[in-house]
Structure 1
Amino acid sequence: MLNQQARSTNRVDETDQSRVNVYRLLARLLREPPDASLISILTQMTGDSSELGEAIADLSNAAAGTSLADARDEYEMLFIGLGRGMLTPFGSYYLTGFMHEKPLARLRNDMRPLGIARNHDVKDPEDHAAALMEMMAGLIDGTFGAIQPLTVQKRFFDSHVGSWTPHFFRDLETCSSARFFKPVGRMGRLFMAIEQAAFEM
C-alpha cells in the first residue's frame, strides 16, 4: 500500500519488533481479503495469558473454524459491500463523517517529511486503517529510511492513529455481522490501548 525506501540498517530491539509484528498483522488483515497463506499462518499462532494474547488465540481459533470463502465474504461485507461496507475504515470518515477531509490533508503533510508515500497503484486514500498500521510499523523499524525516535512515533500516533482507530476497532469487535473479524477488532482495540499507555509513560 505504501512505497518503501531502503530500510535502516540499525537493529530493532525485541520489544519494538513485537510491536512491528502486531502492526503489520493488523495491516494485512485490514488491507485485503484473507488468502490461504494468511489463514494458515493465523491457525498456527498462539497467545499468552494476557488480554492481547487471548485475542490472538481467539483469532487463531476463528481462522481454524472459518472457511476461506466465508472469511473472504465477511471481509467484503464489512469493508467493501455494494457501494460501501458496514464499516468505513478511514480516518477522515471517523473524525468528520466524510471522506477526503482535513484529517487526510494533515496526514499527507506529516507523511512527506518522514519519507512516506502512497504506492501509485493503490486507490484508497492514505488514511485507511491498514495504511496507518503500516506507517506505524515503518516508523518503528525504519522501513521508510530511518528508525524514528519515540517522540516522533508518539506524535504521529496521537495525530493520526490514536485519534480514531480505537473507535474503529471497537466497532469491528462489536459488529453483529463480524465472526472471523471480531477477534481482529478486539486485538486492535487492546493493542491501541497498550500503545497509548506506553507512549504516555
Structure 2
Amino acid sequence: MSQMTSQTHAIAPEDADRAVIYGFVGRLLQAPPSAGDMDVLRALTADETEMGLALKSLSEAAQSANVNSLKDEYNALFIGLGRGELVPYGSFYLTGFLNEKPLAELRADMGVLGIARADTVKEPEDHIAALLQCMEGLITGAFGEPATLPIQEKFFTCHIASWAPHFFKDLTAQNTSAFYAAVGALGGVLVALETEAFGMAG
C-alpha cells in the first residue's frame, strides 16, 4: 500500500526475518490471498517458538480454507456494505472516527521518512496493512537506507503499538473466519515480540 523503491540493502538475518513477517501479515490484511499465497501458507514449516506456533496455526487454517470463501470472509470482515465487522484503521481504534489526528500525525512522520502513499491506493495510510508494510520498508531500506532501531521503534510505538494489539485481539476473537483469526493471532504475536524487543534494546 505504501510507495516502495527497488533499492536493496544488506541487513542482518534477524532483521530480514522481521521484515518478512511484517510484509507477510501486511499483505494478508491488504487483500484476500491468491491460490499461490495459499499454496505457500499450506507448505509452511515452523519451529516451536511463539512465532513458529502462530505460523503453524495459520498453515493449519489454510489447509481447509477456500480461496473464494476467503474473498467473502475478507469482505465481511473489512469492507462490508457500509462498514466491515472490523475497521482496520489506527484513527478509528484511537479516536472512534476515521481520518482524525492520528492519521495527520502519521502522514507527518511518513513525510519525514520519505514514505508516500502509492497513487493507486485510495485507503488512508493508517490501515493496518500499510503500517506493517511501512515497517517492512523501514527495516529493509526500501525508502532509502535501512532505518536505525530508534527510528523503527518510534514509528512502531507511535503508529502500531498504540492500537494494533487491540485490533489483532479483535481479529483473533471474531467468528466469521478461522483463517483470519489465525492471521490475527500471528499479528498479535508479532506486535508483542517487537514491543518486547524494542523495550530490551532501548
Give TM-score, length-normalised by structure 2: 0.96
Give me the whole-angstrom Cα distance separating, in 1, the residues matched to 2:41 and 2:103. Answer: 32
1:64-103 alignment to 2 at 5 Å? 64-103=63-102
Give me the whole-angstrom Cα distance separating, in 2, the residues matched to 1:113 and 1:186. Answer: 32
CA contact (8 A) 1:2 1:116 kept: yes
Equivalent pairs: percent with the same residue? 47
1:93-172 alignment to 2 at 5 Å? 93-172=92-171
| Runs of 4+ displaced beyond 2 Å | none
Letter in 1 for 2:113: L
| Residue 2 (structure 1) aligns with | 2
Q: CA deviation at 1:111?
A: 0.3
1:39-58 alignment to 2 at 5 Å? 39-58=38-57
Q: CA deviation at 1:50?
A: 1.5
CA contact (8 A) 1:52 1:187 kept: yes
Please state if 1:194 is matched with 2:155: no
CA RMSD of aligned residues (A): 1.0
More moved, 71-80 vs 87-96: 71-80
Q: CA deviation at 1:51?
A: 2.1
Q: CA deviation at 1:88?
A: 0.3
- 1:17-49 superposed Cα distances (whole Å, 9 cap, x missing partner): 100000000111000111111111111111211
Q: CA deviation at 1:199?
A: 0.3
Gaps of 5+ in 1: none
- 1:137-172 superposed Cα distances (whole Å, 9 cap, x missing partner): 000000001101000000111110100011100100
More moved, 176-185 vs 22-31: 176-185
SS in 1 for 2:178: coil
Give me the whole-angstrom Cα distance separating, in 2, the residues matched to 1:44 and 1:6. Answer: 28
Gaps of 5+ in 2: none
Number of aligned pairs? 200
